[in-house]
Amino acid sequence: MTRDELNAHRLVKEAQETELRAFTRRHFLKESAMGLGAVAMGALLGSCGLGGKTTNDILYDPVHPLLPKAPPFLGKAKSVIYLHMAGAPSQLELFDYKPELMKMDGQDCPQSLLAGKKFAFITGVPKMLGPQAKFAQHGQSRAWVSDNLPHFSTMVDDVSFLKAVSTDQFNHAPAQLLIHTGSPRLGRPSMGSWATYGLGTENQNLPGFVVLTSGGSFPDAGKSIWGSGFLPSVYQGVQCRSEGDPVLFIKDPHGMSRDLRKASIDAINASNEQEYAAYNDPEILSRISQYEMAYRMQISAPEVMNINDEPEYIHEMYGTQPGKSCFANNVLLARKLVEKGVRYVQLFDWGWDAHGDGPNNSLNIGLKNKCRSIDKPITALLLDLKQRGLLEDTLVVWGGEFGRTPMMENRNGVQNPYNGRDHHTDAFTIWMAGGGVKKGFTHGETDEIGYSGISGKVDAFDIQATILNQLGFDHEKFTYPFQGRPFRLTDVGGKVIHDIIA
């Protein structure tokens, strides 16, 4: 056989072997036996949370960080709308009815309530203050709700109340950070960042985590409260506006065409890719992803964030004010965002700090006005989500950072000019609806004057653990490596509140 014939024979044999590898089970199993075992082992290790990691840690892709991912177990909620009333609403004028407190109205506060306690402003001996609202029971669940929330009282059979929530922080900023980031100090990722890190988002043209503010001011904790902390920056909350452009600078500058904007972003990202090749920093990949997201948002965000096209009955239902910045507009936007696949929507409404040092900070004027501004919108949100079939897999959470005292606030030992209450850490109310929680249920109870929880006590970590559980995560295994150890949202605390899960 000549050399040319030998080479031709070898080529034919290689072609036949290649065809066998592609089309016969015998060659496939023989050649990939170790690979199949590795795949199986990887699946087992991923589901067991090797080294404290979850499947999501292993599948994290810095090139496509917001692609939707399945949680470790089937969660009942796909998205979250968290309504935070910044300043801390008084549970004693809203949900925690205490007729015994009314009997003590105007009396000196018993020393047993003051001994060993630290308050933000109360000094000396304050007067007890009875409920500054009328209460009634509503729905089949017979839940107590005050006349400050007449519309919401019709929805109590869709809600789970947590009546004995506590915290160890009595100042606004640390308490807000604790309930949203798991730490009273700066630097930890917010709950929305954890959610989008673990699940990505179902709409690649919008951020996975959107923040909306109202009330004329930011929360006391500032923008850190929706920051990504040590997680990649792509997971931080994106603040949008309910008036004007939803995001600043979302429009192309004057004289710049859409094609020219795309070319400029391509040039910037080409430079970023060169930098990544040199330094191998995954944060650079997040930066590239954010530039591309910003470009796509120019088309998607203005459409989603426009409430003008909503039917008139929806505007009436929510009490919206198109063209203005208000809580009602933000609540309607929250519904539109989760409807479009946004994973986590965080609303902050400022102005709930009812100390009694002025009319706007009083229980009889300021609190009533704030309640009027949220009553129709939150009721409409629950009804709207329900009629669209979205409430089943959207978890709605409402609350503040702490509660208010049963006694009247007296600054420097002098009674304030209006009825108000000081910050209180021992007991306050948070409620949840949808997303797999029980309907018409109350968990926990406070004592006869609403000072302390006497059953069903929960804290910020328990709230966080429960929210993560509804999204499909074991809060103890859902971690991120930082500074040489795995960190989690709930730090070293937290228990899922199983009693409220349907």
Q: Could you read off the pLDDT of 80-101 as tens digits, one per residue?
A: 999 999 999 999 999 999 999 9
The alpha-carbon radius of gyration of the chain (Å, integer) is 27
- In contact, 459 and 496? CB cutoff 8 Å: no
CA nearest to 177, candidates 493, 472, 371, 464: 464
Residue whose tokens read 């030992």: 413
pLDDT band at 19 (very low <50, low <70, confident <90, very high): low
Q: Quick one: average pLDDT of 248-257?
A: 66
CA nearest to 230, candidates 177, 192, 190, 199: 190
Question: What is the structure's pLDDT at 53?
Answer: 42
User: Which burial class, exposed, middle or buried, applies to 231 when counting CB atoms under 10 A from its CB (0-12, 13-18, 19+)?
Assistant: buried
Question: What is the structure's pLDDT at 243?
Answer: 64
End-to-end, the C-alpha distance of the chain in Å comes to 79
Whether 228 has a pLDDT exceeding 80, the answer reads yes
Whether 76 has a pLDDT exceeding 50, the answer reads yes
Phi/psi of residue 240, nearest 5 degrees: -115, 165
User: Between the CA of residue 484 and those of 176, 182, 442, 487, what are the distances in Å?
Assistant: 27, 19, 41, 9
User: What is the DSSP code (8-state) at residue 128?
Assistant: B
Whether 163 has a pLDDT exceeding 90, the answer reads yes
Question: What is the structure's pLDDT at 306?
Answer: 85
Model pLDDT for residues 21-65, shown as the tens digit of each residue: 445 555 545 555 545 554 454 444 443 433 444 444 545 677 788
pLDDT band at 227 (very low <50, low <70, confident <90, very high): very high
Phi/psi of residue 203, nearest 5 degrees: -125, 105
pTM of the complete model: 0.83
CA nearest to 341, candidates 73, 79, 60, 70: 79
Concatenated DSSP letters for 240-281? Answer: E-SSSSSSTT-SPPTT--HHHHHHHHHHHHHHHHHHHHHH--
Question: What is the structure's pLDDT at 309?
Answer: 87
The mean predicted confidence, pLDDT, of the chain is 87
pLDDT band at 190 (very low <50, low <70, confident <90, very high): very high
Distance of CA 205 to the CA centre of its chain: 20
The C-alpha torsion from 51 through 55 and 56 to 61, rounded to 10°, is 90
d(CA 346, CA 84) in angstroms, rounded, equals 8
Contacts of 154 (CB under 8 A, 6+ apart): 138, 139, 379
Question: Residue 78 is which amino acid?
Answer: K
Q: Kindly state the helix (H) or strand (E) to which residue 14 belongs, with its residue range.
A: helix 3-23
Contacts of 483 (CB under 8 A, 6+ apart): 230
Concatenated DSSP letters for 148-190? Answer: T-TTGGGGGGGEEEEEEEE-S--SHHHHHHHHHHSSSSTTSPP
CA nearest to 317, candidates 245, 246, 386: 386
CA nearest to 416, candidates 359, 332, 494: 359
Question: What is the structure's pLDDT at 2?
Answer: 63
Model pLDDT for residues 95-118, shown as the tens digit of each residue: 999 999 999 999 999 999 999 998
- In contact, 329 and 322? CB cutoff 8 Å: yes
Using N-to-C axis directions, what is the helix angle for 25-48 and 3-23, rounded to 10°?
50
Give per-residue burial for 442-476: e unless 16+ CB within 10 Å, then b: bbbbbbebbbbbeebbbbbbbbbbbbbbbbbbbbb
Residue whose tokens read 């198109």: 322
By residue count, the chain amounts to 502
Q: Quick one: average pLDDT of 130-143?
A: 98
User: Between the CA of residue 278 and those of 77, 176, 282, what are the distances in Å?
Assistant: 41, 40, 12
